[in-house]
Chains A and B, each alone.
Chain A
Amino acid sequence: ETGVTQTPRHLVMGMTNKKSLKCEQHLGHNAMYWYKQSAKKPLELMFVYSLEERVENNSVPSRFSPECPNSSHLFLHLHTLQPEDSALYLCASSQNRDSQYEQYFGPGTRLTVT
């Protein structure tokens, strides 16, 4: 595997379900990011991790819970989501937090909340 991978690629969940999104980067980077991409809206930064420490939480509702067990892996735990949370969730990485101008993105997880 190369670059940034995300699983699953597609996810349909009910409002009462709990699920997790997984991201893995094979680039040796130290910073990882979660973004939300909705139709007709710009990419929204959700969380930033630098060396496994959360350094940015962009006013994201608590029903989204990130986890970064090591510098290569990032998870987004989801529970009691709302239909408006349906979107493409993108993971990205960069060499470190200061090099956010050179981010590498995964293919995304297309989430549908029913």
Chain B
Amino acid sequence: QKEVEQDPGPLSVPEGAIVSLNCTYSNSAFQYFMWYRQYSRKGPELLMYTYSSGNKEDGRFTAQVDKSSKYISLFIRDSQPSDSATYLCAMSAFTNAGKSTFGDGTTLTVKP
């Protein structure tokens, strides 16, 4: 079983929709939860990270962590065509400095 499982997608939504991207994990030692966005032919770009449980908001993006369920989500409000990309969740633990475990990625297309 993989340590991190990400909803595979692909996901296609109309412009303005609310998007929910999700990952589950099995390692209870994970303390940091990250979301990266990767455009085609580019490297991943950090959107935001969250420490432990709770929510974090940045503009149209909200990251949510539920450690009791080992479940994390990224919500995108008022989605735009420019949000079309692959989204990667990633997680890391204090005890394993330098090492992050990534999900497979979910490809999102926002149609005008």
Contacts from A to B (Cβ < 8 Å): 4, 6, 31, 33, 40-43, 45, 48, 50, 55-56, 90, 92, 97-98, 100-108, 110
Contact = CB atoms under 8 A, between A and B. Distances in A.
A109 to B, nearest CB: 10
A104 B99 CA distance: 14
Interface stretch (B13-21, B42-50, B66-74, B77-85): B42-50
A103 B34 CA distance: 10
A42 B99 contact: no
A33 B94 CA distance: 17
23 contacts: A40-B104, A42-B4, A42-B103, A42-B105, A43-B44, A43-B102, A56-B98, A90-B43, A90-B44, A97-B97, A97-B98, A98-B94, A100-B97, A101-B32, A101-B100, A102-B46, A102-B49, A104-B46, A105-B36, A105-B45, A106-B43, A108-B42, A108-B43
Contact of A103 (B100, B104, B105): B100
B88 interface: yes
Given A41-B104, A45-B100, A100-B92, 4 more contacts: A56-B98, A100-B32, A101-B49, A101-B51
Nearest to B32: A101
Interface of B: 2, 4, 32, 34, 36, 41-46, 49, 51, 88, 90, 92, 94, 97-105
B99 A48 contact: yes
Contacts of A97: 97-98
A102 to B, nearest CB: 6
Nearest to B91: A101
Contacts of A107: 41-43
B44 A101 contact: no
A25 to B, nearest CB: 12
A107 B51 CA distance: 26
A43 B34 contact: no
